[in-house]
């Protein structure tokens, strides 16, 4: 009798253990696969035709207008996609010749195409009609690709070659420009089983490791046009009971060094630098151990990062521009490899900074 009772107890324990772990597996957020558009990293040729002037006049953050794009997954095999477009951005919308835009795609239109699974997409294009316009776009794309290696919480991107017809009353003008697509923030959150949040969070409420990782990345690319306090150029996500900031919009960074870039003055805060190529750490104070752990992570990723950037050289019209960008990134590693500079330029700066 005791033997039979012991068997029952063991069986109950076995079932409890395995069913509880099965429930844990069910409850745990499942990482979603990358959509077809971003799983393929070959350059996607696009054709667009619209009037930027009309786009600025008729659309805003909530109003779209109907349009079309043409895309080619194979040479000279163009396919048409109906969608809606609107103007986006703040600085670029008001100061750039090429209008930054956002696509809105209906599910039935995307079905069976490379855009299946995409509802909203950003398209980054050059700002001005200048000789370095395409190279600047590629450098900004490189920043996104770096962060993709640094943090699992990043925006997926894909380079595009664009034949853009600027529709004018008398005579249309065609521009051949580089650009890249960026996935929607909800897609990032969904991929990690989380949600996009609009809550105002005090800086110390963010996940400390991701916060330092993010801030060190901004220092790496020489970007001050962001703020954790005001969630400026940041998307807030709630993943695994943590608040995580995901950065975007790097055209003001020293890495890009665009002709229109200026040192950021978020909410009127004047920073003690006067050139975007000057690095300034604007992260928030955390435990020193977190900074050192992230320093080691960045050092361990160094070779992988530079190897990932090598293929981009082929897309530059001015190879010196690529070399300057790579040299600029090496300067970041000079700081990490010098303990005194690391303490002075990053840790000590964070202790003084009230972001």
- Shared domain check, 158 and 277: no
What confidence tier does 352 reach under pLDDT thresholds 50, 70, 90? low
- Which pLDDT score is estimated for 17? 39
Q: What are the pLDDT digits (tens) for 109-136? A: 999 999 999 999 999 999 999 999 999 9
3-class secondary structure per residue, 313-330: HHHCCCHHHHHHHHHHHH
pLDDT at 6 over 90: no
Span 288-294, mean pLDDT? Answer: 98
Establish if 199 belongs to a structural domain.
yes
Q: What are the pLDDT digits (tens) for 240-287? A: 999 999 999 999 999 999 999 999 876 677 899 999 999 999 999 999
Span 159-169, mean pLDDT? Answer: 94
* Alpha carbon distance 90, 16 (integer Å): 56
| Strand order from edge to edge, sheet including 234-239 | 195-196, 234-239, 242-247
- Shared domain check, 209 and 246: yes
What confidence tier does 31 reach under pLDDT thresholds 50, 70, 90? low
- Shared domain check, 172 and 284: no
Span 65-72, mean pLDDT? Answer: 97
- Shared domain check, 333 and 253: yes
* Alpha carbon distance 220, 218 (integer Å): 5
Establish if 59 belongs to a structural domain.
yes
Strands (E), the chain: 44-50, 65-72, 78-87, 101-104, 120-124, 157-166, 173-183, 195-196, 234-239, 242-247
What confidence tier does 3 reach under pLDDT thresholds 50, 70, 90? very low
Establish if 25 belongs to a structural domain.
no
Which residue reads 């696969």 in tokens? 33
Establish if 14 belongs to a structural domain.
no
- Shared domain check, 340 and 248: yes
Establish if 30 belongs to a structural domain.
no
pLDDT at 16 over 60: no
Percent of the chain residues topping a pLDDT of 70: 89
Tokens, residue 312: 């981009």
Which of 186, 204, 228 terminates a domain? The answer is 186
- Shared domain check, 251 and 102: no
- Which pLDDT score is estimated for 22? 37
Establish if 278 belongs to a structural domain.
yes
What confidence tier does 40 reach under pLDDT thresholds 50, 70, 90? very high
Establish if 105 belongs to a structural domain.
yes
* Alpha carbon distance 333, 228 (integer Å): 24
- Shared domain check, 229 and 205: yes
Number of domains in the chain: 2
Establish if 144 belongs to a structural domain.
no
* Alpha carbon distance 228, 247 (integer Å): 10
Q: What are the pLDDT digits (tens) for 87-103? A: 998 788 888 999 889 99
- Which pLDDT score is estimated for 169? 76
Which of 164, 186, 208 terminates a domain? The answer is 186
Percent of the chain residues topping a pLDDT of 90: 79
* Alpha carbon distance 343, 340 (integer Å): 5
- Shared domain check, 178 and 43: yes
Note down the domain range covering 219: 194-352
pLDDT at 153 over 90: yes
What confidence tier does 353 reach under pLDDT thresholds 50, 70, 90? low
């Amino acid at each position: 009798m005791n033997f039979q009772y012991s068997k029952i107890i063991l069986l109950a324990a076995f079932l409890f253990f395995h069913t509880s772990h099965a429930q844990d597996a069910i409850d745990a957020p499942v990482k979603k696969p990358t959509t077809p558009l971003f799983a393929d990293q070959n350059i996607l040729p696009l054709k667009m035709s619209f009037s930027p002037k009309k786009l600025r006049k008729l659309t805003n953050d909530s109003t779209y207008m109907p349009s079309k794009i043409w895309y080619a997954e194979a040479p000279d095999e163009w396919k048409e996609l109906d969608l809606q477009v609107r103007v986006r951005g703040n600085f670029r919308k008001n100061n750039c010749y090429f209008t930054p835009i956002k696509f809105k795609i209906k599910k039935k239109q995307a079905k069976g195409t490379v855009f299946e699974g995409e509802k909203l997409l950003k398209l980054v294009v050059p700002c001005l009609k200048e000789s370095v316009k395409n190279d600047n776009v590629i450098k900004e794309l490189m920043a996104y690709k770096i962060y993709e290696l640094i943090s699992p919480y990043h925006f997926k991107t894909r380079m595009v070659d664009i034949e853009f017809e600027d529709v004018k009353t008398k005579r249309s003008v065609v521009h051949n420009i580089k650009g890249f697509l960026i996935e929607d923030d909800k897609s990032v959150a969904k991929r990690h089983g989380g949600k996009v949040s609009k809550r105002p969070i005090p800086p110390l409420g963010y996940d400390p490791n991701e916060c330092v990782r993010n801030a060190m990345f901004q220092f790496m690319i020489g970007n001050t046009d962001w703020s954790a306090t005001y969630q400026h150029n940041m998307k807030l996500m709630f993943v695994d009971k943590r608040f995580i900031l995901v950065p975007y919009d790097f055209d003001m960074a020293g890495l890009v060094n665009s002709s229109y870039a200026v040192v950021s003055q978020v909410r009127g805060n004047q920073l003690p630098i006067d050139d975007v190529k000057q690095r300034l750490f604007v992260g928030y104070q955390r435990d020193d151990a977190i900074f050192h752990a992230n320093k080691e992570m960045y050092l361990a990723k160094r070779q992988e990062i530079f190897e990932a950037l090598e293929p981009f050289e082929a897309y530059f019209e001015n190879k010196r521009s690529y070399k300057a960008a790579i040299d600029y990134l090496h300067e970041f590693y000079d700081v990490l490899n010098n303990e005194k500079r690391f303490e002075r330029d990053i840790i000590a700066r964070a202790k003084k900074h009230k972001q």
